Structure 1
Amino acid sequence: MAGASDNDGRPPGGESPDDLPDLPEEWGVIVIPDDLSELADEVEAVRAELRTGPPLTRWQLFVRRPAIRRTRRFGSLLMRTPALIVSVAVLVTIASLFASAWPGPARQPATQRTSGTTESRVGRLPALDLIGADGQSASILGSLPAVLLLTDGCDCARLLDDTVAAAAPGVTVLVITTRGLSASPSTTTSSLSASPPVSAGVLPTLPTAHAGGKTVTFLQDRTDTLRHQLDLSDPDGTAAAILVDKTGEIVRIHPRTASIETIRPDLARL
């Protein structure tokens, strides 16, 4: 066993080997034995100090087993997952409450269609070619601004006369039915009152009439395409009136029209 050097482990001259700092003086003389078994007494003393606590019970020994520790970790994970789900659900509910209470843009009330409903729509008149009383194809967009009267099943002679009288010069009145031509001979006149009446949806033989600078054109829509595209209900004894400005935009749709007073305010807008 090596002993302490005559110079407290320092080389001659008093300098520390390898420029290492000196050991604290309170540690005293440190002796490193050549055989580590000589430190057995010190090892037992340290172990005795570590065993100074109370002995573990059987339950403590049981829960410290590796399998039990893994089971405990899995159980705690199962407990945290529902808590996480509940927390997310609470946050989503709170966010929904804030979103519903947050003031948004005002919504326009939906228009419920009834038998007497007047509908204001933003849209263009469909580009349809219908059949004139002369058998030729005619575009409904070629006579704008216009009032379109769908007269199937309607005795609309009075409504037609009043509409022509109330319309401003330059506004065309288009009378549209699904029926064919009447059997009466063709009539040519410069007065609208001399034209055959519009009754029961029959298309008169007079293709176009002019009165006071106003034009009335009779057209046939054999498949009732215009009514379907505008989502109008089936005929019920009244006329459907569509008012269109000169750009083709629909100003107003009156699904049920029996009197000029229904459409008079909108005529002034054409």
Structure 2
Amino acid sequence: MAGASDNGGWSSDGGSPDDLPDLPEEWGVIVIPDDLSELSDEVEAVREELRLTGPPTRWQRFARRPAIRRVRRLAGKAMRAPVLIISMAVLVTVASLFASAWPGPPRQPAAQRTAATTNESATMLPALELFGDDGRTVPLNRELPAVILLVDGCACAKLVSDTVAAVRPDIAVVTVTSAATASAAITPPTNTTPQALGKTVRSLHDPTGTLRSHLKLGAPDGTATALLVSDDHAKIVKTFPRIASIEDMRPYLAQI
């Protein structure tokens, strides 16, 4: 019987020699065909891979040097910051374009602004000329600050006298009626005459009701209407469409 050396180191039963390891199990069963031409396809595939992975060129060898690889990494990091800045600038520009093109809230029309101005002017005492007891015209805003009492159809003698007593000496009290002469119902009692109190009281007449119409006040209903007017551009500080007692307006007298 031939020894192991007769078969080139392999045992006669086809097993591996004692000094060589076995083939890996993941390779599976390896079958060697009797006709080697059956392996031509595998040979061509291996040759193709070898051609694709041929020897590196001089430039490839230069680029694979450690120093060059470090330079490439540093250059890549240095490029990230400018690219990020440029991207943010582009995003901000696009957002600005969208914001400028996006329709905003509708502007307030000029008609509404005019209406607001008209409402504001309604809080100012109109510069009207009414008639005094002697029939002469008297500017309504001649003496300010003032408490103006519209007393048509009102038995308001007590309200007038209480108002004269409550106001400061620099505040005039003006009564306005539509009658041609002052009504006795609004004449202050003798012991509270303006001269005795150092106050100014005027009685004016508005035959056409211009003041009520301008301030959009209702028709007379048996109660007085009070206007508290400051000397600051004849501003109406408070309006009482119906008032019967001085206590209603007393807290506001300090504002004029």
**Structure 2 length as normaliser, TM-score?**
0.49
Larger Cα-atom Rg: 2
Choose between structure 1 and 2 for higher RCO, CA contacts under 8 A separated by at least 6 residues. Answer: 1
